[in-house]
Amino acid sequence: MLIKITKSQTLLTQVNDSKNSLETPFPVGEYFANLTPEGKIEVLVTRQIKALFSFSQFREKVSCGDFVVIEN
């Protein structure tokens, strides 16, 4: 899936499936997003850095206009 982030944000991300989270800036732009086997949606900054969202968190971001789904 391809999404557009409409407002610059700082999101908690994980690096290489580690348990450690760090805050990463997400500037306005288009990002790839995938469904994980655990049922979460991951928004990719790079192959190694991703932000994870539950469906309800992702839906809230879309409802607020922070994320726009461009392509499913």
* pLDDT value at 17 more than 80: no
**Domains of the chain by residue range:** 2-71
pLDDT tens figures, 32-66: 999 999 999 999 988 888 999 999 999 999 999 99
> Which CATH number, 2.60.120, 1.10.150, 2.30.30, 2.160.20, labels domain 2-71?
2.30.30
Tokens 């932000």 locate to 51
Q: What's the predicted TM-score (pTM) here?
A: 0.84
Distance CA 57, CA 54 (A): 5
Residues 6+ apart with CB under 8 A from 34: 1, 41, 42, 44
